[in-house]
Amino acid sequence: IPDMPIKSCASEIYKDIFEYLKDHLILQKDEYHIMSLWIMASWLVDDFNTAPYLLFIAPKSSGKTQALNVIHELGYRSFLTVSVTASAIFRAADLWRITPLIDESEFQVNTEKPSESSQALYGLLNGGYKRGNCALRIEGENRVPTSFDIFGFKAVASTKIFLPTLESRSIIINMNQGMPKNILIDEDRSKIIRSKLLYFRFSTLKKLKTIIPKSNSGRLTELFIPLYTTAQILENSNYANSVIKYEDLVFLLDRTLKSMESDRKQEELGSPQAQIV
């Protein structure tokens, strides 16, 4: 939970997040910007009807858990899960509007031997990217059907892509091995940033124009709307107080979107279904 809101301009907050990520993670340059935008967009979740997931892919000991820990410090109501029950995760998502962070997800979401917890996480990830998708569960002694709102931003860490549906809802970040400047999370610094983000949320909600990117993929268009929309915060900022110009950030988003669009098109062409057709 943040302290009292700290008044700060959006470009300054973006810079704080960007530099915090650079100090704690080893990523490609574009990925620092994508992740910074994603974190800021998570604080405006009420403005969006879709929410992209972040999917961190890497072998063991390559920084995936560190990435989730960083989001845990900066993301909106972030909640790091290592073990959950179905009723708990759905209640938490509905009641607290959390941003779930799921580490070692290929073990927690086991599709070969699905437990109740595994099925719950699968349902959360499968439907939670779009507003209006709900989980229905039987509750109480009277066995009353109860609906839970599971929409929201989510981040997942895994050693591999194990669910096609998860991949289609995610922006994938392939972690790079290396030693970041800070191994230990700077909690005092992140608390200040959270307090600035709280002010950002109060001062920005319902004020940004929805930006719909150009793409031949409806799903990718949906996923990138929050990022393009949030990028507007840099549109009229003083570049001296920022780390990137608005035009350059939009160009970066366009490049990322087109790259993902091309990758998915190639995967579709190589699929058994496409070869049969």
What are φ and ψ of residue 7, in 5° steps?
A: -65, 130
Instruction: Please state, rounded to an integer, the average pLDDT across all residues of the chain.
Output: 88
pLDDT at 271 over 80: no
pLDDT digits (tens, 9 = 90+) for 30-73: 999 999 999 999 999 999 999 999 999 887 777 888 999 999 99
Note whether 170 and 164 are within 8 A (CB).
no
Strand pairing partners for 171?
54
Nearest C-alpha neighbor of 89 from the set 107, 116, 129 = 116
pLDDT digits (tens, 9 = 90+) for 197-208: 999 999 999 999
Q: What pLDDT does 176 receive?
A: 76
| pLDDT class of 225 with cuts at 50, 70, 90 | very high
Q: What pLDDT does 247 receive?
A: 94
Which residue has 């920022």 as its token pair? Answer: 242
Q: What pLDDT does 264 receive?
A: 81
pLDDT digits (tens, 9 = 90+) for 160-208: 877 778 888 999 998 877 788 888 999 999 999 999 999 999 999 999 9
| pLDDT class of 269 with cuts at 50, 70, 90 | low
pLDDT digits (tens, 9 = 90+) for 97-148: 999 998 877 666 766 666 777 777 888 888 899 999 888 877 777 788 888 8
